[in-house]
Amino acid sequence: MKHYEVEILDAKTREKLCFLDKVEPHATIAEIKNLFTKTHPQWYPARQSLRLDPKGKSLKDEDVLQKLPVGTTATLYFRDLGAQISWVTVFLTEYAGPLFIYLLFYFRVPFIYGHKYDFTSSRHTVVHLACICHSFHYVKRLLETLFVHRFSHGTMPLRNIFKNCTYYWGFAAWMAYYINHPLYTPPTYGAQQVKLALAIFVICQLGNFSIHMALRDLRPAGEWPAPGKGGMVVGRLGKGGSHLPLLSCLPGSKTRKIPYPTKNPFTWLFLLVSCPNYTYEVGSWIGFAIMTQCLPVALFSLVGFTQMTIWAKGKHRSYLKEFRDYPPLRMPIIPFLL
Amino acid sequence: GPPPTPLPLSSTSAGCTGTMASSEEDGGGASEPGEEKEATGKRRRLGLLATVWLTFYNIAMTAGWLVLAIAMVRFYMEKGTHKGLYKSIQKTLKFFQTFALLEIVHCLIGIVPTSVIVAGVQVSSRIFMVWLITHSIKPIQNEESVVLFLVAWTVTEITRYSFYTFSLLDHLPYFIKWARYNFFIILYPVGVVGELLTIYAALPYVKKTGMFSIRLPNKYNVSFDYYYFLLITMASYIPLFPQLYFHMLRQRRKVLHGEVIVEKDD
| pLDDT tens sequence across A151-201 | 777 788 898 899 999 999 999 999 999 999 999 999 999 999 999 999 999
Residues of chain B neighbouring A293 (CB-CB closer than 8 A): 219-221
The pairing of strands A16-23 and A73-80 is unpaired
Let me know if residue B1 belongs to a domain: no
A124 to chain B, any CB pair closer than 8 A? The answer is no
Q: Answer yes or no: is pLDDT of B211 > 50.
A: yes
pLDDT of residue B16: 35
Contacts of B222 in chain A (CB under 8 A): 178, 294-296
SS3 A296: helix
**Domain layout of chain A by residue ranges:** 4-82, 87-220+255-322
The string of pLDDT tens digits covering residues B108-120 is 999 998 888 888 8
Question: How far apart are alpha carbons A307 and A278 in whole angstroms?
Answer: 10
Q: Which of A112, A168, A185 to mutate to test the interface with B (most CBs of B within 10 A)?
A: A185
Structural domain range at position B109: 33-257
B217 contacts on A by Cβ (under 8 Å):
183-185
**Tally of CB atoms within 10 A around A15:** 10
Tell me if A82 sits within 8 A of A157, measured CB to CB: yes
Chain B: residue whose CA lies nearest to A182: B217
Give B246's contacts (C-beta < 8 A, 6+ positions apart). none
Decide which of B240 and A310 is more confident: A310
- Preferred mutation among B221, B229, B264 to probe A, highest tally of A CBs within 10 A: B221
Distances (CA, A) of B11 to A218, B123, B187: 51, 8, 10
A229 touches chain B (CB under 8 A): no
Residue B117 CA, distance from chain mean position: 14
Q: How many domains does chain B have?
A: 1
pLDDT tens-digit map of B63-96? 999 999 999 999 999 999 999 999 999 999 999 9
Architecture of the domain whose range is A4-82: Roll (3.10)
What pLDDT is stored for residue A333 in this prediction?
Answer: 95
Q: Cβ neighbours of residue A11 under 8 Å, at least 6 residues apart?
A: A51, A54, A55, A77, A78, A79
Hey, are the CB atoms on B219 and A179 less than 8 Å from each other?
no
Identify the CA nearest to A245 among candidates A222, A270, A272, A278: A278
B168 found inside a domain: yes
The answer to whether B221 contacts A293, with C-beta atoms less than 8 Å apart, is yes
Of A160, A168, A183, the CB nearest to B217: A183
pTM comes to 0.76
**Does residue B12 form part of some domain?**
no
Dist CA A316 CA A312 (whole Å): 6
* Amino acid sitting at position B135: H
In a domain, B16, yes or no: no
The verdict on whether omega for the bond into residue A54 sits within 30 degrees of 0, i.e. cis, is: no
pLDDT tens readout for residues A103-137: 999 999 999 998 999 999 999 999 999 999 999 99
Helices and strands per DSSP (H, E), number in chain B: 9, 0
**Chain B contact for A303, CB < 8 A?**
yes
Interface mutation vs chain B, best among A113, A124, A126, A183, most B CBs within 10 Å: A183
Which range (A329-338, B13-22, B148-157) has the least confidence?
A: B13-22
B219 and A294 in contact by Cβ < 8 A? no
What's the average model confidence in pLDDT over B11-22? 34
Residue numbers of B annotated as active site: 188, 195
Mode of pairing for the β-strands spanning A48-51 and A155-157: unpaired
